[in-house]
Structure 1
Amino acid sequence: MLIDISFLNKQLFGVRSIESGALLWRYDVTEIARWRQFPSDPERPGEVRKFIGVWQDELLVALTNHTIIALDIHTGALKRKWRDVPEEKCQNIPFKGYQIVAIPYPEGAVLDSEGGKLVCASGIFYWEIDLYTGALLFEEFSAEFGTPLDKVQYSFAAGRIPVLSGDHLFL
């Protein structure tokens, strides 16, 4: 099946059959991706940040509230989602005055389709999602890099795109 993924707006996208031109399904991320820049800010409607890729009939999409969703490519049904960092990993990570509770920079994720993983490294954070099991691995390396958390610079902020090659993630 050949498909085309099209934005209807920042909150709504659809999947169309290339052969027939028929709209197969649409998905609205307004509610599932609601977010705030800071806790005191008003809540904003969710938006798509990036289509990451397709893995075993799942469309992987990064959203505004640090969420990644996996949608059934044929029906648009939500199969699973990831957002929260394991509690034991985030208790002692104050970052610029806030606690890290969600995966950082999901739109920087790279799909390792052969290994069945999503991987991301940004600043002093590294995380990966095992797409076979759904398990999230999250690590923070400020002590190893000697970088105070309030001084972290994100490698993707300047528009650099990570490249995954075999067992190496080039930033």
Structure 2
Amino acid sequence: MFLQIEKKELIRNFLVSENLILRVNNDFELFKNEVFISDKVLDNSYENFKEKIIYSDKTGTWIDKNKFENLSYLKNSKDLRNETIIFSGDFKLDYPNFSNKYYLYNLKTREKKFLLKFKNLFYFFRKNTFLFFSDKIKIYSFIISDDAFVWQFNLETLGKFEDRDGNLQNYEVLKFIGAWQNSILVACSGQLVLDINSNTGELNRKWQALPGYGSSAFQGRLQHKIPSTDGFQLDISKSYLYHLAGAYIVTIDLVTGKADYQSLKNALEEHVFSGFRWSTGYAEDETHIYTIAEMNRLKLGLDYIPQCIVAFNKKTLKIDWHYRFEGDWIKTEIPQIANNKLYQLSGDNTLYIFKKEE
């Protein structure tokens, strides 16, 4: 399906979109017949917005030469559509005493306005004119056009769950998975996914139980439940959630509400794979999911675990293509796909670029 066309070394981070690929190695390089270089020391706060690359440093600079004073970092801005970013200001170097002021900036109108003041906000998600954010314990809804709060949902009302060691813990938000019809889907600790009405804040549905799934380790405390929910992703069809967990695919059908799982053992063993590496996300298109699988070192007679990037067929539940990283390895970087090209950053800071064959 794919042919490796290039390997770029000394790559620290990258982003792809329909138009841009960003290379970060103490400077910028845009692979679009243009090169932008920055002598700034960058942190990990950067995003791409159509024709702009936005990054955070002490002056809050981005590529089209606009600046904000005392910008500390962007807050999950990739979830907020291409016209809006959120950042926190009044940066303080005495970590962890970060700023508690958050601002909105509209890239089209170039309007900046104060959004809200909270001690700690970790997750943001936007659906139409609604902005949802969380401090891990509570979820808040805010209408951007009206500058008004609509509702809040307190996870403490859900009670507590027993962790793998048998200790009782409060539920916390792990991430916003996405939006479906009039709902937002929220991944929580304790192997819990919430479906919350985006207009009212009412809890529509929740998923946690999955009879038959899971191992009996930790005295079975994680058994008969869905896997860790920060591994779920909303399919491109926006009709179901999926998670490639080890040697299984776990799905949640948003139409019927049914959670299910299926063994992929035979499909994996066909290519001498032991399972899929755990991930918080995947690259995908209409037909395939792209992720990392680990090979069975015992069957191969090796003292290390080879890793491969694979194309997993959504319809047949089989692996249609894979590429083995010889002498290299993958940490937690998620594959990215755009313009019929597939990208994977390795643990040795090499960016592998594959082109889809006709």
- Give me the TM-score of the superposition, normalised by structure 2: 0.40
Deviates more, 1:16-25 or 1:94-103: 94-103
Choose the corresponding residue for 2:282, options 149, 162, 168: 162
Q: Compared with structure 1, are the counterparts of its residues 115 and 72 closer, same or farther at alpha carbon in structure 2 (3 Å cutoff)?
A: closer
Partner Cα distance (1:142, 1:35) in 2: 31
Matched residue, 2:144: 18
Deviates more, 1:52-61 or 1:125-134: 125-134
Q: Compared with structure 1, are the counterparts of its residues 170 and 98 closer, same or farther at alpha carbon in structure 2 (3 Å cutoff)?
A: farther
What stretches of structure 2 of length at least 5 have no aligned partner? Answer: 1-127, 292-358
Q: CA deviation at 1:130?
A: 1.1
Q: CA deviation at 1:36?
A: 2.7
Partner Cα distance (1:6, 1:121) in 2: 27
**Is this contact kept in 1: 2:180–2:238, CA < 8 A?**
no
- The higher radius of gyration belongs to 2
Partner amino acid, structure 1, of 2:225: A
* Cα deviations by residue, 1:40-96 (Å, 9 ceiling, x for unpaired): 32x1111001100001011000110111110111001011111111x3x33xx5354
Partner Cα distance (2:181, 2:236) in 1: 9
The total of aligned residue pairs comes to: 158
SS of the residue 2:237 aligns to: coil
Matched residue, 1:35: 161
Q: Compared with structure 1, are the counterparts of its residues 140 and 52 closer, same or farther at alpha carbon in structure 2 (3 Å cutoff)?
A: same
What stretches of structure 1 of length at least 5 have no aligned partner? Answer: none
Choose the corresponding residue for 2:206, options 81, 91, 98: 81
- Give me the TM-score of the superposition, normalised by structure 1: 0.80
Choose the corresponding residue for 1:130, options 253, 268, 275: 253
SS of the residue 2:142 aligns to: strand
Matched residue, 2:321: none
Q: Compared with structure 1, are the counterparts of its residues 39 and 31 closer, same or farther at alpha carbon in structure 2 (3 Å cutoff)?
A: farther
Partner Cα distance (2:256, 2:276) in 1: 31
Choose the corresponding residue for 1:117, options 240, 260, 266: 240
Identity of aligned pairs, percent?
Answer: 22
Q: Compared with structure 1, are the counterparts of its residues 138 and 45 closer, same or farther at alpha carbon in structure 2 (3 Å cutoff)?
A: same
CA RMSD of superposed structures (Å): 2.4
Q: Please state if 1:52 is matched with 2:177.
A: yes
